[in-house]
Structure 1
Amino acid sequence: MAFFIQQLINGLAVGSLYGLIAVGYTMVFGIIGMVNFAHGDLFMLSAVIAFVCFLFLITLLGVSSVIVALLIVLVIGMVLTSLWNWAIERIAYRPLRGSFRLAPLISAIGISIALSNFVQIFQGADSKAVPAAVDQALGGKFEIWSETNAQGQVIDATISLKQIMVFIITAALLAVFWYLVTKTSLGRAQRACEQDRKMAALLGVNVDRTISITFIMGAALASVAGLMFLVTYSSVNFHDGFVPGVKAFTAAVLGGIGSLPGAVIGGILIGLVEKLWEGSFNGDVASYRDVAVFSILAITLIFMPQGLLGRPEVEKV
Structure 2
Amino acid sequence: MLLQHVVNAISLGGIYALLALGLAIVFSIVGLINFAHGELMTIAGYSTLGALLFGVPFPAAVLIAIATTAVAAMAMERIAFRPMRGASVTSLLLTSFAVSALLKVIFQNGLSARPQPLAMPQWMTGSYQVGNVAIGVGPTISIVISVVALISLELFLRRTVTGTAMRAAAEDFPVVRLMGIAAGRVIATAFALSGVLAGIAALLWVAQRASVDPLMGAVPVVKAFIATVVGGLGSLPGAVVGGLLLGAIEIGLDAVLPPSVVPYRDAFVLSGVILILLFRPQGVIPAATVRRG
TM-score computed with the length of structure 2 as normaliser: 0.93
Correspondence for 2:82: 94
In the superposition, relative to structure 1, how do residues 189 and 314 fare at CA in structure 2: closer, same or farther (>3 Å)? Answer: closer
Q: What is the deviation of 1:48?
A: 2.1
C-alpha root-mean-square deviation of aligned residues, in Å? 1.9
Q: State the shift of 1:35 in Å.
A: 0.8
Q: What's the offset of the Cα at 1:135? A: 4.8
1:83 aligns with 2:71: yes
CA distance in 1, matches of 2:268, 2:142: 24
Is 2:193 aligned against 1:217? Answer: yes
| Structure 2 CA distance for aligned equivalents of residues 71 and 258 of structure 1 | 33
Q: Distance in 2 between matches of 1:135 and 1:22?
A: 27
Cα drift, residue 260 of structure 1:
2.2
Shift of 1:96: 1.2
Contact 2:44–2:203, Cα closer than 8 Å, also in 1: yes
Contact 2:232 2:285 in 1 (8 A): yes
Match of 1:43 among 15, 27, 41: 41
- Structure 1 CA distance, aligned partners of 2:243 and 2:291? 28
- Are residues 1:159 and 2:135 paired? yes
1:252-307 per-position Cα deviation (integer Å, ceiling 9, x unaligned): 11112222222122111111111111122233411122222333443444442321
C-alpha distance 129-315 of structure 1, shift in aligned 2 (>3 A): closer
- After superposition, the Cα gap between the structure-2 partners of 1:112 and 1:4, relative to the gap in structure 1 and judged at 3 Å, is same
SS of residue matched to 1:305? coil
Q: Deviations over 1:225-246 (max 9, x none)?
A: 1111112221122112111111
2:243 counterpart residue number: 267
User: Matched residue pairs, number?
Assistant: 292
Q: Which residue of 1 aligns with 2:125?
A: 139
Aligned counterparts, 1:238-277, within 5 A: 238-277=214-253
Once structures 1 and 2 are overlaid, which stretch shifts more, 238-247 or 300-309?
A: 300-309
Q: CA deviation at 1:313?
A: 5.0
Structure 2 residue identity aligned to 1:139: T
| Conservation of the 8 A alpha-carbon contact between 2:5 and 2:252 | yes
- Contact 1:128-1:236 at 8 Å conserved across structures: yes
> Aligned ranges for residues 50-61 of structure 1 at < 5 Å?
50-57=48-55
* Distance across 1 between alignment mates of 2:245 and 2:134: 20
Does the 8 A contact of 1:50 with 1:226 survive in 2? no
Q: 1:54-97: CA deviations, max 9, x gaps? A: 2322xxxxx6xxxxx33212211111111111111111111112
Matched residues in 1 for 2:73 and 2:19: separation?
A: 13
- Check conservation: 1:26, 1:257, Cα contact below 8 A: yes
Instruction: Tell me what 1:288 maps to.
Output: 264
Deviations 1:167-211 (A, max 9, x none): 121111111110111221112211222222222111111111100
Q: Gapped runs of 5+ residues in structure 1?
A: 58-62, 64-68, 147-156
- Out of 99, 103, 111, the position equivalent to 1:123 is 111
CA contact (8 A) 1:47 1:229 kept: no
- 2:168 corresponds in structure 1 to 192
Identity %: 32
Gaps of 5+ in 2: none
User: What is the one-letter code of the residue matched to 2:203?
Assistant: L
More off after superposition, 187-196 vs 206-215: 187-196
Pair member with larger Rg: 1
Cα deviation code 1:113-165 (max 9, x no counterpart):
1122221112211111113xx3533221112243xxxxxxxxxx322111121
The corresponding residue for 1:13 is: 11
Task: Determine helix, strand or coil for the equivalent of 1:36.
Answer: coil
CA distance in 2, matches of 1:301, 1:178: 26
* Structure 1 Cα separation of the partners of residues 223 and 291 of structure 2: 28
Cα 1:234–1:80 change in 2 (3 A) is same
Report the Cα distance in structure 1 between the residues aligned to 2:290 and 2:168, rounded to whole angstroms: 16
- Aligned letter for 1:164? T
Check 1:81–1:174 CA distance in 2 against 1; reply closer, same or farther (3 A cut): same
Worse-superposed segment, 105-114 or 300-309: 300-309
User: 30, 33, 37: which is aligned to 1:32?
Assistant: 30
